[in-house]
């Protein structure tokens, strides 16, 4: 088992990405450019957490976690737009935004802890 697989933040990012993946797979009305961006940014969160966990230096690890956190913000903004366009339900919007916010908060603490070392 890789170290990142044990991280709660990775597990949450993985779950969020699966929700996005299945939503995008079922939705045929969202333009391809937006589907692509949403899918890539959701995937970016979990991949940057995984890659960052494998780095040796705290500085390198922190940089990947900062990128992952930025992608969580990007996803939340896309969700907000899709909800405004009635492309997703209020319930799904709340689930996704809540998930991205939770990941963002955990990453924030991880980033701050790495800065203190």
Please write the tens of the pLDDT for every residue from 50-72.
999 999 999 999 999 999 999 99
Conformation bin of residue 103: beta by default, left when phi > 0, alpha when psi is -120 to 50: alpha
Residues spanned by the domain of 76? 3-116
pLDDT higher than threshold 80 for residue 12 = yes
How many domains does the structure of the chain reveal? 1
Confidence bin at 116 (pLDDT 50/70/90): confident
Residue 117 has pLDDT above 80, yes or no: no
CATH, residue 70:
1.20.1440.60
Check residue 85 and give its pLDDT. 97
**Residue 61 to residue 111: CA distance in whole angstroms:** 9
Secondary structure class of 23 (helix, strand, coil): helix
Number of Cβ within a 10 Å radius of residue 25: 10
């Amino acid at each position: 088992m890789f170290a990142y697989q044990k991280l709660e933040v990775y597990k949450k990012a993985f779950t969020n990405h699966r929700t996005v993946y299945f939503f995008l797979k079922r939705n045929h009305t969202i333009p391809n450019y937006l589907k692509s961006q949403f899918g890539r940014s959701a995937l970016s969160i979990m991949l940057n957490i995984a890659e960052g966990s494998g780095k040796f230096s705290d500085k390198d690890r922190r940089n990947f976690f900062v990128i992952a956190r930025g992608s969580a913000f990007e996803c939340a903004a896309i969700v907000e737009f899709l909800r405004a366009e009635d492309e997703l339900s209020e319930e799904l919007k709340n689930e996704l935004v809540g998930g991205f916010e939770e990941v963002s908060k955990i990453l924030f603490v991880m980033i701050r802890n790495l800065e203190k070392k």
